[in-house]
Amino acid sequence: RSGGRVAILGATGSIGTATLDVIAALRRHDPERDWRAWSISGHSRIDSLGKLAAGSDPVPGTIVVSDPERETSARSTLKTHQLHASCRLDFGPEALVRAATDASVDTVVAAIVGRAGLESTLEAVRAGKRVGLANKETLVVAGPVVTQAALESGSVLLPIDSEHSAIYQCLAEARSLAKTTGDDNANSPCDRRFSQKYPGVRRLILTASGGPFRGWTVDQMRDATPAQALNHPTWDMGQKITIDSATMMNKALEIIEAKWLFDVPHDRIEVVVHPQSIIHSLVEFDDGSVIAQLSPPDMRLPIQYALTYPERLPCPAPPLDRGNFWEMTLSPADHERFPALTLGFEVAQMGGTAGVVVNGANEAAVPLFLAGKIRFTDIAELCRETLRSHHHESQPTLTRLLELDTWSREYAAKLAVKLVV
């Protein structure tokens, strides 16, 4: 049973603010554990950060502004919220690591977007914290390093990504039964010896909403605008993941995330399209039985589950409207129209340096698309081309991965210049 002191890295974002909401509810439902945001971070939205801190009860002890360039303006903004007296202010990327490893903190919610979340998440893992992982890019970039660090420190990685939370929940329910038969002594379904512990698991089935372009042809997608791509039908999320959902690069990143999180080979992962976003994922067992997790498309449930696992408490997310049951559909994913999916499976199979390269190219391509410099369909193309051009290594060091992160961004940006919009 974890304690209630939470560091929220990326508190100003969509996951970060939802986490604050969950903590406020847990404070009411579970007063014994004295739930609180011990520290919160923001990068550019400093006024929001001040408002979030001022609106928290109790006010967080530490406020981190991770962009060091904003120190002067942040000090005066936070002063206007009268926070300078009650909170410690800390600045720069190293401040994220200090917040993530603070001895007083029980759980770190890793909710920074992109590779920028890597160092603080990795240090939280190394410090043996419970880590609620929203920042999937950390595992995509450095899966082997992060999972090895978790094994060594005893850190428990609890997925916040709704699909992975769903799988975790299905496996945890199966495991709790195994436990009552005295069969299991591990502390988490994400233990690296997953395959030995779950000999009965045949396949992990990730659901995908299909995004705003689910029914579009490739020709239509070629001319898709940023506004159309940002208009997600079921989820309200940050900009980068919303574009990733439209290209289905998000599902590619999730295939890779699942590989590392559950130590499952790529050919035991499947993707199916489920536009209603009610079934968050499924697990198929060897006897053919399939167990699924269902809830409304609201991230507060997986966030809360990561905080309170293995307990379940009342959650501020609304209950499932039974009307949804009559309209749920599952259909095969179309790899031809969404080539990112094939890329995701290839990268999961390759492992090593493949993840960092595709992620770097994608992180370079998304802002170029948003700025109107490349076409929507160029995003996946740039990722594939960058992957093709790199020399694959199967056992890279962290330093090598970080070098390739820089290389892949630059390479994709150079390729993009050659494209004519």
Binding site for ligand NDP (CB under 6 A): 10-16, 42-45, 66, 111-113, 116, 134-137, 161, 235, 237-241, 299
Q: Determine whether 418 is exposed, middle or buried from the number of CB atoms within 10 Å of its CB (0-12, 13-18, 19+).
A: exposed
Region from 138-146, 154-162, 297-305, 331-339 binding Mg ion, contact rule CB under 5 A: 154-162
DSSP secondary structure letters along 312-362: ----SSPPPPGGGGGG---EE--TTT-HHHHHHHHHHHH-TTHHHHHHHHH
Footprint of Mg ion on 250-269 (CB under 5 A): none
CA dist 332 and 218 (Å) reads 17
Is residue 13 annotated as involved in ligand binding? yes
- For Mg ion, the closer CB: 123 or 254: 254
Tokens 């700025």, located at residue: 371
Closer to ligand NDP by CB, 8 or 415: give it.
8
Residue indicated by tokens 């004295």? 34
Would you say 165 is a known binding-site residue?
Answer: no
Distance of closest approach, residue 116 Cβ to Mg ion, in angstroms: 19
Task: Report helix, strand or coil for 197.
Answer: helix
Rounded distance between C-alpha atoms, residue 83 and residue 69, angstroms:
20
Which of 90, 137, 161, 405 is the binder for Mg ion (CB under 5 A)?
161
Burial of 239 (0-12, 13-18, 19+ CB in 10 A): middle
43 is in the binding site of which of Mg ion, ligand NDP, none (Cβ under 5 to 8 A by kind)? ligand NDP
Residue 220 interacting partner from Mg ion, ligand NDP, none (CB closer than 5 to 8 Å by kind): none
- Which residue number places its CB atom closest to ligand NDP? 13
The residues that bridge with 8 in the sheet, in sequence order, are 40, 109
| Mask for 162-181, x = binds Mg ion (CB under 5 A) | xx------------------
Instruction: State how far the Cα of 185 lies from the Cα of 242, in Å rounded to an integer.
Output: 39
Question: Which of ligand NDP, Mg ion, none binds 165 (CB below 5-8 Å, type-dependent)?
Answer: none
Q: What are phi and psi of 66, to 5 degrees?
A: -75, -20
Residues in the annotated binding site: 12-15, 135-137, 161-163, 209, 232, 238, 245, 250-251, 254
Question: Which residues sit at the interface with Mg ion, rule CB under 5 A?
Answer: 161-163
Residues in the annotated binding site for 1-deoxy-D-xylulose 5-phosphate: 136, 162-163, 209, 232, 245, 250-251, 254
